[in-house]
Amino acid sequence: MKIPPLAFTATDWGSVPATEHAGTTGKAIWRTLNIGDVRVRVVEYSPGYLADHWCDRGHILYVVEGELDTELKDGRNFKLTAGMSYQVSDFGDAAHRSSTRTGAKLFVVD
Protein backbone atom coordinates (compact mmCIF):
# COMPACT_ATOMS: atom_id res chain seq x y z
CA MET A 1 0.00 0.00 0.00
CA LYS A 2 1.29 3.41 -0.89
CA ILE A 3 -0.62 6.44 0.36
CA PRO A 4 -0.77 9.04 -2.42
CA PRO A 5 0.10 12.71 -1.82
CA LEU A 6 -2.46 13.99 0.65
CA ALA A 7 -2.76 17.00 2.90
CA PHE A 8 -3.29 16.29 6.59
CA THR A 9 -6.90 15.17 6.89
CA ALA A 10 -9.04 14.68 10.00
CA THR A 11 -12.15 12.54 9.52
CA ASP A 12 -15.38 12.76 11.51
CA TRP A 13 -16.59 9.21 10.81
CA GLY A 14 -20.10 10.09 12.00
CA SER A 15 -20.46 12.44 9.03
CA VAL A 16 -19.27 9.91 6.42
CA PRO A 17 -22.31 8.40 4.65
CA ALA A 18 -23.08 4.80 5.60
CA THR A 19 -23.71 2.03 3.10
CA GLU A 20 -25.32 -1.30 3.97
CA HIS A 21 -23.96 -4.62 2.72
CA ALA A 22 -25.89 -7.84 3.26
CA GLY A 23 -24.01 -10.91 4.38
CA THR A 24 -25.12 -14.50 4.04
CA THR A 25 -26.62 -13.69 7.42
CA GLY A 26 -26.70 -10.30 9.11
CA LYS A 27 -25.41 -7.07 7.63
CA ALA A 28 -22.37 -4.82 7.49
CA ILE A 29 -22.50 -1.04 7.65
CA TRP A 30 -19.52 0.66 5.98
CA ARG A 31 -18.36 4.25 6.25
CA THR A 32 -15.71 4.62 3.55
CA LEU A 33 -13.05 7.18 2.69
CA ASN A 34 -11.19 6.60 -0.60
CA ILE A 35 -7.74 8.14 -0.97
CA GLY A 36 -6.42 7.24 -4.41
CA ASP A 37 -6.09 3.46 -4.39
CA VAL A 38 -6.29 3.31 -0.57
CA ARG A 39 -9.64 2.62 1.08
CA VAL A 40 -10.14 3.47 4.78
CA ARG A 41 -13.30 2.22 6.49
CA VAL A 42 -15.16 1.96 9.73
CA VAL A 43 -17.19 -1.25 9.45
CA GLU A 44 -19.89 -2.44 11.84
CA TYR A 45 -21.10 -6.04 11.66
CA SER A 46 -24.47 -6.93 13.15
CA PRO A 47 -24.73 -9.86 15.56
CA GLY A 48 -24.93 -13.08 13.55
CA TYR A 49 -23.09 -11.64 10.54
CA LEU A 50 -21.43 -14.05 8.08
CA ALA A 51 -19.69 -12.70 4.96
CA ASP A 52 -21.22 -13.79 1.68
CA HIS A 53 -17.85 -14.23 -0.06
CA TRP A 54 -14.19 -15.19 0.34
CA CYS A 55 -12.01 -12.08 0.20
CA ASP A 56 -8.60 -12.07 -1.52
CA ARG A 57 -7.87 -8.39 -0.87
CA GLY A 58 -5.14 -7.38 1.56
CA HIS A 59 -6.20 -5.51 4.70
CA ILE A 60 -4.97 -4.06 7.93
CA LEU A 61 -7.93 -4.61 10.26
CA TYR A 62 -8.28 -3.44 13.87
CA VAL A 63 -11.15 -4.53 16.14
CA VAL A 64 -12.48 -1.45 17.94
CA GLU A 65 -15.40 -3.20 19.69
CA GLY A 66 -16.84 -6.68 19.90
CA GLU A 67 -15.52 -9.98 18.66
CA LEU A 68 -14.60 -11.07 15.12
CA ASP A 69 -14.11 -14.59 13.80
CA THR A 70 -11.92 -14.84 10.71
CA GLU A 71 -11.83 -18.07 8.72
CA LEU A 72 -9.13 -18.69 6.14
CA LYS A 73 -10.07 -20.74 3.09
CA ASP A 74 -7.42 -23.30 4.10
CA GLY A 75 -9.43 -24.05 7.26
CA ARG A 76 -7.56 -22.00 9.86
CA ASN A 77 -9.70 -19.88 12.22
CA PHE A 78 -8.83 -16.84 14.32
CA LYS A 79 -10.86 -15.07 17.00
CA LEU A 80 -10.07 -11.39 17.45
CA THR A 81 -11.38 -9.26 20.29
CA ALA A 82 -11.29 -5.51 20.89
CA GLY A 83 -7.72 -4.23 20.73
CA MET A 84 -6.51 -6.95 18.34
CA SER A 85 -5.66 -6.67 14.64
CA TYR A 86 -4.75 -8.75 11.65
CA GLN A 87 -2.68 -7.97 8.59
CA VAL A 88 -3.03 -9.91 5.34
CA SER A 89 -1.57 -9.14 1.91
CA ASP A 90 -3.04 -9.19 -1.58
CA PHE A 91 -0.59 -11.99 -2.39
CA GLY A 92 -0.50 -15.60 -1.33
CA ASP A 93 -3.22 -17.99 -0.33
CA ALA A 94 -4.88 -16.18 2.56
CA ALA A 95 -8.45 -15.90 1.21
CA HIS A 96 -10.58 -15.14 4.24
CA ARG A 97 -14.10 -14.35 5.42
CA SER A 98 -15.49 -12.77 8.54
CA SER A 99 -18.29 -13.63 10.92
CA THR A 100 -19.39 -12.57 14.37
CA ARG A 101 -21.88 -13.95 16.85
CA THR A 102 -22.03 -10.79 18.97
CA GLY A 103 -21.33 -7.97 16.50
CA ALA A 104 -18.14 -6.03 15.90
CA LYS A 105 -16.87 -2.57 15.00
CA LEU A 106 -13.70 -2.47 12.90
CA PHE A 107 -11.24 0.03 11.45
CA VAL A 108 -9.93 -1.25 8.11
CA VAL A 109 -7.28 0.04 5.71
CA ASP A 110 -6.89 -1.62 2.32
CATH number for the domain including 102? 2.60.120.10
Rg (CA), the chain: 14
Residue 94 in domain: yes
Residue 4 in domain: no
Q: What is the model's pLDDT at position 2?
A: 78
Considering the entire predicted model, what is its pTM? Answer: 0.92
Asked if pLDDT for residue 67 goes beyond 80, the answer is: yes
Paired strand residues for 39: 34
Structural domain for 75, as ranges: 18-109
Asked if pLDDT for residue 68 goes beyond 90, the answer is: yes
Asked if pLDDT for residue 6 goes beyond 90, the answer is: no
Q: Per the structure, how many domains does the chain have?
A: 1
Residue 12 in domain: no
Residue 1 in domain: no
State how far the Cα of 98 lies from the Cα of 81, in Å rounded to an integer: 13
Residue 7 in domain: no
State how far the Cα of 5 lies from the Cα of 78, in Å rounded to an integer: 35
State how far the Cα of 50 lies from the Cα of 26, in Å rounded to an integer: 7
User: How does pLDDT run across 28-41, given as a tens digit for each residue?
Assistant: 999 999 988 899 99
Residue 10 in domain: no
With residue 98 as reference, give the H or E element that holds it: strand 96-100
Please state, rounded to an integer, the average pLDDT across all residues of the chain.
94
